[in-house]
Amino acid sequence: MKVLLEEKHSLLEEVESRSGQKVQECYQCSKCSGGCPFSGIMDYAPNSILEMIVYGLKDQLLASKAIQMCIQCGTCGAQCPAGFEMYEVMNVLREMAKEEGYVSHEVKIPKMNGIFLGEVRNIGRMHEVNLMVKNMLSQGELVRDVTSLIPIGPPMFFKGIMGMGDVFAHKIQGQAQVEKVFANVEKARGGITP
């Protein structure tokens, strides 16, 4: 029991000190979860996450889908009567999960993020066509994704939203600098690829 209590204490303390948010001040009104656009597809809703931090349920939390789904839309924070920013907590939880090598139950989002950042690392910018194609091939739902493109693709092309000029990617001049930024962040993280 003693060990468990110490562990509870450490997760709460670490999250509070790294995020600058007083998790203990949450009184579970649940407005964050009511407002969150993604709470319906999260395994743990935002207010539950705060409670799990207090209870020290670290393994469930750091491997959860929920922490990968927050896109910092800020809806929760704008409605929070205790006045704190949940997204800061989510950012810290994702970073801790990465540092401690947790394998997330959410596969799709980290995969897409990796493809996006790979483009940025390799050419200095995000290339929309490369991102779309590589992401479709990696998500394992090729039929669904290609079908969904049928009503969109041709009008995008005919109306000039996308043209042949968008197919090829061009490196920026300072691509090596951008590559260096990635490498330096990696070094600062003790070798973990961002």
The reply on whether position 38 binds other proteins by CB under 8 A is: yes
Closest CA to 77 of 18, 32, 38, 46: 32
Taking the complex as a whole, the smallest distance from the CB of residue 18 to other proteins amounts, in Å, to 10
Phi, psi (deg, nearest 5) at residue 159: -90, 0
The whole-angstrom separation of Cα 27 and Cα 60 is 21
Helix (H) or strand (E) segment spanning residue 175: helix 175-188
Q: Does 132 bind other proteins (CB under 8 A)?
A: yes
Window contacting other proteins (CB under 8 A); options: 4-12, 25-33, 45-53, 125-133: 125-133
Report DSSP letters for 71-137, one per residue: ----HHHHH-TT---HHHHHHHHHHHHHHTTPPPS--HHHHHHHHHHHHHHHHSS--HHHHHHHHHH
Q: Is 143 exposed, middle or buried (0-12, 13-18, 19+ CB in 10 A)?
A: exposed
> Interface with other proteins includes 120 (CB under 8 A)?
yes
Q: Which stretch binds other proteins (CB under 8 A): 6-14, 23-31, 47-55, 77-85?
A: 77-85
Beta strands in the chain (DSSP E): none
**Complex with other proteins: residue 1 or 151, whichever CB lies closer:** 151
Q: Using the rule CB under 8 A, is 161 a contact of other proteins?
A: yes
Q: Which residues contact 168 (CB under 8 A, 6 or more apart)?
A: none
Among positions 6, 113, 133, 137, the unique one binding other proteins when judged by CB under 8 A: 113
133 forms part of the interface with other proteins (CB under 8 A): no
Q: Does 160 bind other proteins (CB under 8 A)?
A: yes
CB of 58 to other proteins, least distance (A): 20
Residues of this chain that bind other proteins (CB under 8 A): 37-38, 40-41, 68-75, 77-79, 85, 87, 91, 94-95, 98, 108-114, 116-117, 119-120, 124-129, 131-132, 135, 139, 144-145, 148, 151-152, 155-156, 159-162, 166, 172-174, 177-178, 180-182, 184-185, 188-189, 194
